[in-house]
Structure 1
Amino acid sequence: WREVEITSRHPRTETGTIRGRVLDESGQPTPARIMLTASDGRAYTEDGGFHRMMWVNKRHYAHTDGSFEIELPAGLASIEAMRGFEYLPTKVSADIIAGESTDVTLVLNRFGNLDPLFTLGWYSSDMHTHDLHEGRFGLTPEMFFRQLEADDVRVANALIHMDGTKIMGRLEDLTGEPHEVSGEERILYYTQEFRGSYGHVALLGLQRFIMPFIGGARGTPYAPDVLKLAHIDATYSQGGIAGFVHPYNGPVDTPQRAATADIPVHVALGRGDFFDVVSIASLEMESAEMYYRLLNCGFRLAATGGTDNFSDVWLDPSGGTARTYVHIDGAPPLTFSGWLDAVREEKTFGTNGPLLFLNVGHGGLSPGTMLEPGEEFALESSDDTTFDISLAVTSLAPLERVEIIVNGSVAHTWGEADFVGYNPNEVWKLSTTIELPGSGWIAARAIGPPSEYVGDAFPFAQTSPVYIIRDGHNYTSVEDAQFLLEAINILWDRVETRDTFNTDTERRAYSEAIGQARAIFQHIIDGR
């Protein structure tokens, strides 16, 4: 990439200049996203800036380090600033006078005067973002990091991958350490995505690449269908974690339709740490439905969010459009190893806007003690069946409902009538009780209508579960095990029909893994 110097220009209309500052709640300049609309209804950005648009809502935007200077047509302009999910967006208008400069200041305040969530150990993170993907903007790691900082992402996993036969990213960026631009409060870690014919996995925390980058890609040396077992095992051997990204992008109401991904095979065989319920590249409600089925077979996965964006492409959201809030014990300070441990422990919620903090209490705990997602009640069958639910909720976009999910079903709903009079500068405090006589799990989710502030189809958040184990037994559902078993059978039929294997050894390895997963689901069905 090289910069092209503009030596002169001649606007077709009268123009002026707007000079702006974005300040945080303490009055200090802060990086942010700005969205400017001029008197001609068009969007403008700074010279040398990266003008972008979110395809889902057609909002134009750019990032700023806290100050900006933009030439635009004379007349009334509107300028809006936002920064991630913890600040209220703010907007000002300015009358741009031809040939003159107009100053504006935008002040961002946190929701409900919240303390910065990272000071409470909660870190906004992206499980799945990309910096380079054949975009038309020369993005360096430093520029990429500034984008993420402007959107208040504190841990970003940049996945180097292969698309067809092309490497997307710089191989030298994976060093086994956070990138040198990282600091005490923010981490950028380059790692890897493996792309297979029946789903992709993020391999986080790698020290070195795991080859090959792809499988099941016809017309390449990597044509045979292959499971991700070896890649995930190699990730574990390096001290990393693995998870399922953009899981389901179509209906999953039948095993036939759900057999588009090999996720149940891997989960049954004990592979995988997280599941991106939230992503711009998949469907939240359908992905959540499959997540619940997996939980209902006794498997444990963290509920997460990963954008799957291309940060050098103008027609794409930024990193952090879908994100994971991770609760790290003892943080700050932030360490990547501590972050990995917290994801393993499922102390997470995935979101594209709403902030959703779940706590569950029980009479068997000392007064005032509640468990958070990822934690477990170990009870006897004779213990109390009532659980106290406490939720703290806030959102940069309106919500239609907040729900408590118990064993995959909606157990309680707060609807629009419960939110009448809601002040977006406050935090909802919601509470209820749930009866659960047996084993199971309790989670929460939030759903809203489409919003200009959300770079996905609609606002959505999903927590990881709090688990209830009675008499040492997990909750399992025969119905869900039968559904997933049938989906695996259909998947294998498709793999056999494709017949992309080069050798009998490749076919046998895949078939044996399918057989092992089948046996595990059959074990659940038989109640053994």
Structure 2
Amino acid sequence: MLGLPPAVIEMVARYRRMRDEQGFGWGEQALPDFFRWARFSRLGPVFDQFAGTGDWAGAVRAAVGDVVPAGLVLVSIDADGAPSARLGPPRPGIAGGAVQVDVVIDSGLDRDVAVTVAGEDVAVPTGGAGLCTLDLDADAPPIAVVCGPERLDVDGAVVATPAATLRLTCPDGARWSVLDATGGAWFAGGVPRKWDADDRPFFHTDPGTVTMAVPAGPLHVTAARGLEFERQEFAPEPTPGQTVELDYRPARRFAPAADGWFSADLHVHLNYSGDHVVHPVDAARMQRGEGLHLMHLTAGNLGGSLVYDLELLESTAGADLWARDGMVARAGLEYRNDLLGHVHGLGLAGVPDVLHTGHEGSEHPWDWPPNSVACEQMRALGAATTYAHPVYSPLAEADDLLSPHRTVEARELVADAALGVVDAIELVSCFDDRGALVLYHHLLSCGLRLAATAGTDTFLSFAHGPAPASNPPGWGRVYAKLGGARLSAAAFADAIRAGRTVVTNGPWLTLDVDGHGPGTVLDRRPGERLTVRVQVVGSGVRRLVLYGPDGELAATAGDELHHEVVLGEAGSWLAAAAHGDDDPYTVGAPVFAHTTPVYVDVAGRRVARSESACWCLAVLDGLQSLVTEHGRFDPQRRERQLGDLVAVLDRARQVYRAVARAAPG
């Protein structure tokens, strides 16, 4: 349908064979356990429990408590190998319509065991837990659980219910969520079944009408279309055999494109192991259903040598995957080193020589070459480079960026930004936006000019988390002002390089400084006054803030902020931000938006703050200690490989020391 090269069609077919042979986690030798167990975080503090005990079964059991929810079967294997079960209220099932039921096996045996659940073998470690997810319908027999000679037939997970029909209509394409009275999810045919960070099921439809079977009785249906459109909720109660028509005509919340601002998600994975194999047609449907102008599908490895979707990049580099109906998509690369950070490039005209480093068992197991080399290669191929998901914590101290040591945070960004080989930072991402803001502001206060961008790191092939990995694409997005150019990857990359960007996971935010917007460089004299206007449109915002190198300059609880800035002797920068709590339009993260700054040079001098320069120098010193102790280097070439990274850090140190010398006082 998209005219894709044969290599891409063959790639998808190969992934489907792998999925059929290996099941969940295809493509990986050992997918980390938290990928499988993430869905249970909705029941309670599962990850906190696991962190304290290392026991997934105990963590799930503690989160569930005495009352088991619908859709869950807890099977306990006692010390003699005998199984018993607890389960929640039955989910309604219809003939031919699958409803998902999770079976968690909690073993009390002193040995590893294979338990068969409905004919599927589940490996359960000594005293540990196993998970099997079943799709059941009204005609499903009891769930047979077999452990050695012992057998248990679990009945009552699903109750037969008469069927009804929903006809869902949206002229633009949409995201739908359909729940029965027990919270069970229902999906249209032929689409990936997914759940977001708040455990809401969803699927996307193309423009027009989709018909789907559902159980008769009370339903809760939500229709949405990204951040720019109002959601709509429905509460139909179809009777047996009845067809109910639901028509969603999305009304706009705001329209940035009318003023030349276009949206993008710069960090989306088409296939990345998990539950599904996703075809590019599925990705196009999701993009359209979210009203997202540009989607960047990044090839990348996960834990080994397999670089998912590499054939997509190799066969389309420099060309659009599709460009129609106000949508553009491009293949790109996420270059991954879990010690130094991840970098992606938008607009690659070719494929870099090295695609990842530092992963044991791969062809590039060493933490070498430095990330700066990857940034330079991607830029030489025409890409705008962005450090992904930069900070995992609120970053109260500089050392928080450095521990534990392989958490994929953007550590080398502090050096690469100083060297001018990176264009942007993901300020809205799957990690901690508060910590990213701290890092970003320190870099800005050293006179560095990085654009704020957004990348969700959404895994389209995952049905469930880890949150927010299974969210819809574009739940966080960067808007770029294209300056009259038509929508294209090249125009978007140019706007990123120029800093004409705003990031958000919900509201629309604008910044005006003396008539100028984000990315503008002003040259003024001491004592001059700047008139600043900040506005926000959308829900969930609690505080509207104007930031500068000395922190908050002004704030309000309203939706508009006016402030006058009197310039001193030193350069400055001015950026707007919106902060909030939970909101229906913001999935699994607090409300947040931020602009790239307007940069203000004073008498030709950039901003320079010694506190920020010293903070960055402390990060570089800590990073050198970290890589010296924990870096993976070829034993035969360790001195040279480590020396290459130290040379990058030393060059960056010169920049920050110069900033400290130029700082006032």
SS in 1 for 2:608: coil
The reply on whether 1:381 has 2:530 as its aligned counterpart is no
Q: CA deviation at 1:184?
A: 6.4
- Whether the 8 Å contact between 2:478 and 2:502 is mirrored in structure 1 is yes
Query: Is the contact made by 1:39 and 1:73 (CA closer than 8 Å) also made in structure 2?
Result: no
Distance 1:8 1:458 in 2: 39
1:48–1:475 distance in 2 versus 1, CA, 3 Å: same
Superimposed CA distance per residue, residues 462-501 of structure 1 (whole angstroms, 9 cap, x where no aligned partner): 1100111110001111011111101101110111112522
Return the TM-score normalized by structure 1: 0.89
The DSSP-based 3-state class of the residue aligned with 1:506 is helix
2:576 to 419, 438, 444: 444
- Structure 2 vs 1, CA of residues 192 and 408 (structure 1 numbering), >3 Å: closer, same or farther? farther
- Residues 1:75 and 1:192: Cα distance change in structure 2 (over 3 Å): same
CA distance in 2, matches of 1:244, 1:218: 22
CA 1:461–1:145 in structure 2 vs 1: closer, same or farther (change >3 Å)? same
* Aligned-pair CA distance for 1:180: 3.9
**Structure with the greater alpha carbon radius of gyration:** 2
Q: Give yes or no for the alignment of 1:167 onto 2:307.
A: yes
Per-residue CA deviation, residues 424-468 of structure 1 (Å, 9 max, x unaligned), is xxxx45433333434201101111112343223211111100111
1:433 matched to 2:576? no
Amino acid paired to 2:257 = F
Asked if 1:262 is matched to 2:397, the reply is no
Residue 92 in structure 1 maps to residue 241 in structure 2:
no
Look up the SS of the partner of 2:474 in the other structure: coil
CA distance in 1, matches of 2:534, 2:239: 49
- Residue correspondence of structure 1 range 393-432 to structure 2 within 5 A: 393-395=536-538, 397-407=539-549, 409-415=551-557, 418=558, 428-432=559-563
Structure 2 vs 1, CA of residues 173 and 500 (structure 1 numbering), >3 Å: closer, same or farther?
closer
Corresponding residue number in structure 1 for 2:72: none
Superposed CA RMSD in Å reads 2.1
**Contact 1:445–1:460 at 8 Å: present in 2 too?**
yes
2:615 to 463, 479, 483: 483
Moved more, 214-223 or 457-466: 214-223
| Distance in 2 (alpha carbons) for counterparts of 1:42 and 1:350 | 34
Match of 2:443 among 294, 298, 303: 294
Confirm or deny that 1:318 pairs with 2:472.
yes
- What is the total number of aligned residue pairs between the two structures? 493
What's the offset of the Cα at 1:526?
Answer: 2.2
CA deviation after TM superposition for structure 1 residue 305, in Å: 0.8
Question: Structure 1 pair 136/228, CA: closer, same or farther in 2 (3 Å)?
Answer: same
Q: Name the counterpart of 2:332.
A: 191
Match of 1:423 in 2: none
**Which string of whole-angstrom CA distances, capped at 9 and with x for unpartnered residues, describes residues 258-297 of structure 1?**
33612111111111101101112x1000110000000000
Which residue is 2:46 aligned to? none
* In 1, Cα distance between equivalents of 2:188 and 2:511: 41
- Counterpart of 1:179 in structure 2 is 320
Shift of the alpha carbon at 1:387?
Answer: 2.1
Match of 1:366 in 2: none
Q: Which moved more, 1:294-303 or 1:497-506?
A: 497-506
Map of 1:422 onto structure 2: none
Q: Report deviation, 1:339.
A: 1.3
- Are 1:455 and 2:455 counterparts? no
Percent same amino acid at aligned positions? Answer: 23
**Aligned partner letter, 2:451:** A
Q: Which residue pairs with 2:483 in the alignment?
A: 329
1:319 partner letter? P
| TM-score (ref. length: structure 2) | 0.71
Checking the alignment, whether the CA contact within 8 Å between 2:318 and 2:350 is kept in structure 1 is no
> Using the alignment, how far apart are the partners of 1:254 and 1:346 within structure 2?
27
Stretches of structure 1 that go unaligned for 5 or more consecutive residues are 23-28, 362-369, 419-427
Instruction: Give how far 1:132 is off.
Output: 0.4
**Which aligned pairs between 1:109-128 and structure 2 lie closer than 5 A?**
109-111=251-253, 114=254, 116-128=255-267
Q: Is 2:321–2:330's contact at 8 Å kept on the other side of the alignment?
A: no
Q: How big is the shift at 1:251?
A: 4.0
1:350 pairs with 486, 489, 503, which one?
A: 503
In the alignment, structure 2 segments of 5+ residues that lack a partner are: 1-15, 21-93, 98-136, 139-159, 403-408, 465-469
CA gap 1:527/1:186 in 2 versus in 1, 3 angstroms: same
Name the amino acid aligned to 2:442: R
* RCO higher in structure (CA 8 A, sep ≥6): 1
Deviations 1:147-198 (A, max 9, x none): 1111111111111012222211142444223434222621100011111122
